[in-house]
């Protein structure tokens, strides 16, 4: 899987509804009525897909706040952002 440019600033789709939970979050697409469940780290990444944070920023934040990603969060963040893109949940505009 090719890497996403570290300067990329993902932006969450405005049509997606976000519901935080104690163990992650739910994303709901009203148009298609599709529900996505996110684990805590994916929910944290989603929150930072605001167009203000670069991939590099998100990697740094994940590294600081999730012990399971202390050593090498780049691949995990890259993978989650790519999945969000494939599902139409985030874009670059």
pTM above 0.85, yes or no: yes
Q: Which domain holds residue 33?
A: 11-91
User: 84: which residues sit within 8 A by CB, 6+ positions away?
Assistant: 10, 45, 46, 49, 90
Using pLDDT thresholds of 50, 70 and 90, give the confidence band for residue 74. Answer: confident
Cα(7)–Cα(22) distance, rounded to whole angstroms?
A: 30
CATH number at residue 40: 3.90.930
Using pLDDT thresholds of 50, 70 and 90, give the confidence band for residue 48. Answer: very high
Q: Is residue 4 part of a domain?
A: no
- Count of domains in the chain? 1
Q: Is residue 6 part of a domain?
A: no
- The token pair that represents 85 in the structure block: 């893109």
């Amino acid at each position: 899987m090719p890497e996403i440019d570290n300067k990329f600033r993902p932006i969450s789709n405005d049509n997606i509804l976000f519901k935080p939970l104690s163990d992650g979050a739910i994303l709901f697409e009203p148009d298609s009525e599709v529900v996505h469940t996110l684990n805590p780290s994916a929910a944290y990444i989603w929150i930072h897909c605001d167009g203000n944070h670069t991939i590099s920023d998100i990697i740094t934040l994940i590294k600081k706040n999730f012990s399971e990603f202390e050593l090498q969060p780049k691949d995990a963040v890259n993978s989650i952002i790519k999945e969000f893109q494939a599902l139409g949940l985030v874009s670059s505009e």
